Chain A
Amino acid sequence: MSGKRSTFLISALAFGFAFLYVPILLVIIYSFNEGKLVTVWSGFSTKWYVSLFNNDGMIDAAWNSLRIGVMSATLALALGTPAGLVMSRFGRFKGRTLFSGMIAAPLVMPEVITGLSLLLLFVTLEQIVGWPAGRGISTITIAHSTFCAAYVAVVVQSRLSGMDISVEEAAMDLGAKPGKIFFVITLPMILPALLAGWLLSFTLSLDDLVIASFVAGPGSTTLPMKVFSSVRLGVSPEINALATLIILAVSILIVIASIMILRSERMRNRTANASDI
């Protein structure tokens, strides 16, 4: 290999990584900045972390986000799983195309429209049946679970389509009734997909700013909303500290997940080799 080419490749790689990670690195570095200016370095300090943890508004928003994330992900799982099941297991039925289109629609719908329409729905409902009384955590949870359910349905459907249907037939053949088959055979087999769907919904909910802004009420500010509004008043180094903590949490989760996947793969290989002997 010529030296020229390898220099080019290496510099391209370096540039690519720099493009992706230098901004993140800067955020981390500036979170330890002493000065109040976000872009001027004036010495090392951890005081912004201290002030972050003393900022009740920020902590409340984070707590709200976590609660909404867990609730809407769980609700989305309960709604999306049956939808995925119907799409992959009920064969051709009347209105199937309409149904699948309606499931996929929230995935491509602009968030502004989803948010606005849900807001209108909640307001109308309040006028007619008196529920939900005002907007708050419950309305955000409902709003999030609607579009998250679509993601869950897609994940579950693709997992079910890849699954050998004769496994379920075998269970039926051996005397299990359809309802039981779902809980004893299908559910354990699609568990990884359910987990993935839940995590995906949780992340999407945690991440969402637009829809939440539409359907939020007093006292239900989520973390993205809080960050966005405080950035509008000027980027405070506190936000850098918060970003650093989030990056840290995500990195730890990714490392743990990778180790778990690696370990289970290694174990599978080992046992597979053992059975060949």
Chain B
Amino acid sequence: MLVPEAVLDRAHEDVHKTQPWNNPDAVPYIRFENVTKKFGDFYAVDDVSLDIYRHELFALLGGSGCGKTTLLRMLAGFEEPTSGKIYIDGVDMDGVPAYERPTNMMFQSYALFPHMSVEQNVAFGLVQDGVSRSEIRELVAEMLGLVQMSKFAKRKPHQLSGGQRQRVALARSLIKRPKVLLLDEPLGALDKKLREQTQFELVNIQEKVGTTFVMVTHDQEEAMTMASRIAVMNEGVINQIGTPFELYEYPNSRYTANFLGQVNLIEGVLVDDDEKYAVIKSDEAGCEIYIDHAVQGHEGMTFWAAIRPERLRLTKEAPEDTKYNCVSGKVEEIGYLGGISTYHVRLASGKRIKVTEPNSTRQIEPRYTWEDSVWVSWEAGAASVLNQ
């Protein structure tokens, strides 16, 4: 773990409550134990162990085919693991069919029953459980109120817009008060504006009902906005688990660094390693990178310095000290996005560095233009050092 002590070392009582994963005594609510799922010769999920705690909004993040959906479907009971165990609230789920699990799922396609009205869709789960008619009516009305769909109770799914269908699907999966709510790309079918708005609504609803949410998404922004913790998956294995903050600031691999936000990866060789600092010499960047903490490794090892574009400083004049953390190049491309501008700077070696700068003051003309000679520099603490 490359997370510094300072971040982890906040083991107060309240931290244990809000961050049960940092509490060694906390009992996980959902537990994957060495779970493997094979389809033929293909390992969809490869020896995954994972603990999820009560009241979490946990996100499984990864590209398509990384196994995140298979993991979710195994939790729901639609797939049986080839090997390994899954526990929910201490109960072994082996052999428990989907219709008896304490989970409910919100499908990517929403999967509403097209021949039933909104009301009947939401009531379906309760009807299966043999709940009395008057109670069903009461609970459905309450749930439709929660997702603000009371007006549309009598409509059929094909008479609803995408956002409304999403709400019905959410209501339907929440009405049985499942121990765990599973969400498969819950906002994937919505347009961008609606998606941003719905993200916060989902989080609010989760806080209101207190159910544990496990969500699958390929959208890193969505995962970071909503989740308490994220597991970044790639090719059937979990690369890293952490809070959005930990993953963004302290990625453990190039894959994670690349997947969450944007990053410049500068390859280099460790030339000086001390207890307090380390120096990486990069031919690619044509400079030496000074790191303000020790690096676990020996001299001569290859490392990558991962630096976020917004942590880089762009100047026309050379900084005072050009010995470390400073490269020069030419502005090759400019992207003006209003709030921020992004610059692609080509170094002498041919490597391109991406820099973003906030446009915090109004300007008469752009600060930099194409082919400007510029210096790119950064603080000693800006780079995280990766060895894989």
Which one of B97, B109, B161, B172 contacts A276 once the chains associate, using CB atoms below 8 Å?
Answer: B161
CB interface residues, B 301-325, toward A, < 8 Å? none
Known contacts A175-B129, A275-B155; A170/B107 CB under 8 A: yes
Pair A174/B155 contact, Cβ less than 8 Å: no
Query: Does B158 interact with chain A (Cβ within 8 Å)?
Result: yes
Q: State which size class the interface on B falls in.
A: 20 to 34
Q: State which size class the interface on A falls in.
A: 20 to 34
What mask results when residues 170 to 212 of chain A are scored 1 for a CB within 8 Å of chain B, else 0? 1111111100100001001100000000000000000000000
Contacts of B124 in A (CB 8 A): 171, 174, 176
CA distance A268 to B155 in the complex (A): 12
What mask results when residues 84 to 111 of chain B are scored 1 for a CB within 8 Å of chain A, else 0? 0000000000000111100111011101
CA distance A166 to B184 in the complex (A): 11
How far in angstroms is the closest Cβ of chain A from B323?
Answer: 59
Query: Does A164 interact with chain B (Cβ within 8 Å)?
Result: yes
Number of A-B contacts (CB under 8 A): 73
Which one of B76, B115, B128 contacts A188 once the chains associate, using CB atoms below 8 Å?
Answer: B115
For residue B78, which residue of chain A has the nearest CB? A169
Known contacts A167-B111, A275-B164, A276-B161; A173/B104 CB under 8 A: yes
Query: Does A274 interact with chain B (Cβ within 8 Å)?
Result: yes
For residue B182, which residue of chain A has the nearest CB? A173
Contacts of B160 in A (CB 8 A): 275
How far in angstroms is the closest Cβ of chain B from A1?
Answer: 41
Pair A171/B113 contact, Cβ less than 8 Å: yes
Query: Does A233 interact with chain B (Cβ within 8 Å)?
Result: no
CA distance A271 to B118 in the complex (A): 15
CA distance A167 to B111 in the complex (A): 4
Known contacts A166-B111, A167-B111, A167-B113; A173/B159 CB under 8 A: no
What mask results when residues 151 to 179 of chain B are scored 1 for a CB within 8 Å of chain A, else 0? 00001101111001000000011001000
From A169, A175, A180, name the one whose CB has the most chain B CB atoms within 10 angstroms.
Answer: A175
Query: Does B125 interact with chain A (Cβ within 8 Å)?
Result: yes
CA distance A276 to B115 in the complex (A): 20
Pair B115/A174 contact, Cβ less than 8 Å: no
Contacts of B108 in A (CB 8 A): 166
What mask results when residues 258 to 277 of chain A are scored 1 for a CB within 8 Å of chain B, else 0? 00000000001001101110
Pair B109/A174 contact, Cβ less than 8 Å: no
Pair A169/B158 contact, Cβ less than 8 Å: no
For residue B73, which residue of chain A has the nearest CB? A169
CA distance A175 to B111 in the complex (A): 15
Pair B159/A272 contact, Cβ less than 8 Å: yes
Known contacts A164-B109, A174-B128, A175-B99; A275/B104 CB under 8 A: no
Contacts of A185 in B (CB 8 A): 113
Contacts of B98 in A (CB 8 A): 169, 172-173
What mask results when residues 5 to 26 of chain B are scored 1 for a CB within 8 Å of chain A, else 0? 0000000000000000000000
Pair A177/B99 contact, Cβ less than 8 Å: yes
CA distance A274 to B159 in the complex (A): 8
Pair A164/B159 contact, Cβ less than 8 Å: no
Contacts of B107 in A (CB 8 A): 166, 169-170
What mask results when residues 115 to 132 of chain A are scored 1 for a CB within 8 Å of chain B, else 0? 000000000000000000
CA distance A167 to B113 in the complex (A): 6
How far in angstroms is the closest Cβ of chain A from B53?
Answer: 23
Pair A174/B111 contact, Cβ less than 8 Å: no
The 10 A-B pairs with the shortest beta carbon distances in the complex, nearest first, are: A175-B128, A174-B125, A170-B111, A166-B111, A271-B159, A188-B115, A166-B107, A167-B111, A172-B98, A173-B105
A: residues with CB less than 8 A from B are 164, 166-167, 169-177, 180, 185, 188-189, 268, 271-272, 274-276
- Extra inter-chain contacts (8) besides given A166-B111, A272-B158, CB under 8 Å: A169-B98, A170-B105, A171-B124, A173-B103, A173-B104, A174-B99, A275-B155, A276-B161
